[in-house]
Homo-oligomer: A and B are copies of this chain.
Amino acid sequence: MYDIDINSKTPIYVQLYEQIKKDIQSNLKAGEKLPSIRKMTLEYKISKNTVQSAYNQLYAEGYIQSIPQSGYFVSKDLYETIQNNQNQEIINQKEENSIKYDFYPACLSNDLFPKKIWLRLYNKVLKSDLNMGVYHDIQGDILLREKIAKYLIQSRRVNCSANNIVITSGFSDSLHLITQLLKNFITKVAFETPSYKVAKKVFLQHDFKLEEIKVNKDGIDIKALNNSSSNLLYITPSHQYYFGVTTPIAKRVEIINWAKTNNCYIIEDDYDSELSYNNRPVPAMQSINNNQQVIYTGTFSKSFSPSIRVAYLVLPKEILKLYKKEFDYFYSSVPIDTQKTLALFIKEGYWDRHLRKVRTINKRKHDIMKDFFYSKMIDEIDILRQGSGLNFLIKPKIDIDLNQLVKKASKKNIKLYLRSLDENTDVLSMGFGGFEEEDLKEALNSFYTLWKKQER
């Protein structure tokens, strides 16, 4: 009845199991008795263990029942409709990479990532006695946290130590963790407007009410903040997310005082503070007056690599306590090999060197953009952001349909990115980070040709 091939690569018990299962699915009835192990042994000249293994598997999957002193029976309550596993065709959705020029506002050129050094350090890490069989520290690797603390103290004046740093896998991961903690006692967040739409979405996903607060030339509107009923402020003081404005020190102190007076928290998103082209970076707001109001977030995405998914939080004492309680099970989402390699990268001095390089190269590209806009387009656009980060923000002064422009550019394999200033006003976020220097001018010329055609 069953077809056993002793020369097959498939173990005999599996052959038997597969065939009996098929039999159950198509022929046998519920309650029907299966041949005894002894009978099977004799009939197919196979060992008792082999039959037992096949029956065990069928039993484990619930196809058969075992009744002591009686034998094995097809499960009584087995449904007729058993799995009909039509494997869906695997559709390969690989995006065709035909884009010629991509003005994405937040990427870095491929040549900036120090592959050789990284590889050397990675090899060193993996060849060490690093145990890959266990869960590591829930806050992140202690060595990496120490190195980040040292960097933040020196370069951003942040009040921190390895103890109040949490390693995360990107800004949105950081914000999810924080909103998860804060939502238990805070319901409303004051939000710079316009600002980072991802942050906005995460707050809304955690059911926060959003109080939009206007951004002036020198950052957030302090009067509006003082009149607000929120207990939390999300802010990008180093370079305001849209306009790149640096919040002046006086205003920073006022914001800190607002938080102290009203017992509020501030989320300081310091996403690209390393990339200041006209000035040295301004110290973090978190550093002012040893305050315990600021939850500081930083990332390696803008100045190192968005692909390695590493960011960090610096938590005030009370929030750290909450974190340890709420996320006692949540092992740092960054692989330990990545964490250890990055720690070594900073420890051995490569991080400082890399930062200088990333600043120099991106300043050059920034200046190419700036020269282009000022020499060719300054009568047609207002430049809303420049001088920092990886993008310009430009707003047409002329009558032009930006949506049409984006579409037509797309047909020419040029990717442009629209942002909303408010409900009625669209602007273009023009990233330069992803370009190799030599391509940038050509890309800008191509863009400008399309722009000219689109003018009304």
Contacts and interface: CB of A to CB of B under 8 A. Distances in A.
B87 A331 contact: no
A153 B87 contact: yes
Interface string A76-89: 11110111111111
| A60, A247, A251, A333: residue with the most chain B Cβ atoms closer than 10 Å | A60
B63 A329 contact: no
A147 to B, nearest CB: 10
Interface string A129-147: 1111111100000100010
B249 A333 contact: no
A250 interface: yes
A287 B83 contact: yes
A91 B307 CA distance: 31
B134 A205 contact: no
A426 B288 CA distance: 49
Nearest to A333: B169
Contacts of A107: 133-135
A90 to B, nearest CB: 5
Interface string A367-383: 00000000000000000
A308 interface: yes
A118 to B, nearest CB: 7
A271 interface: no
A180 B135 CA distance: 25
Nearest to A309: B335
A331 B172 CA distance: 9
Interface residues of A, number: 114
Nearest to A329: B198
Interface of A: 14, 17, 53, 56-57, 59-63, 75-79, 81-94, 104, 106-110, 112-113, 115, 118-119, 122-123, 126-127, 129-136, 142, 146, 149-150, 153, 157, 159-163, 169-170, 172-173, 176, 180, 197-198, 201, 205, 218, 246-254, 257, 276, 278-280, 282-283, 287-290, 301, 305-310, 326, 329-338, 433-434
Given A61-B283, A77-B250, A107-B134, 11 more contacts: A60-B282, A61-B248, A75-B250, A81-B253, A88-B159, A115-B127, A118-B126, A133-B434, A134-B307, A136-B307, A169-B334
13 contacts: A60-B276, A61-B282, A62-B248, A75-B248, A79-B257, A87-B153, A90-B150, A91-B161, A106-B135, A107-B133, A308-B336, A309-B333, A335-B335
The 8 residue pairs across chains A and B that have the minimum distance between CB atoms: A62-B248, A62-B249, A108-B133, A113-B132, A169-B333, A60-B279, A79-B253, A307-B336
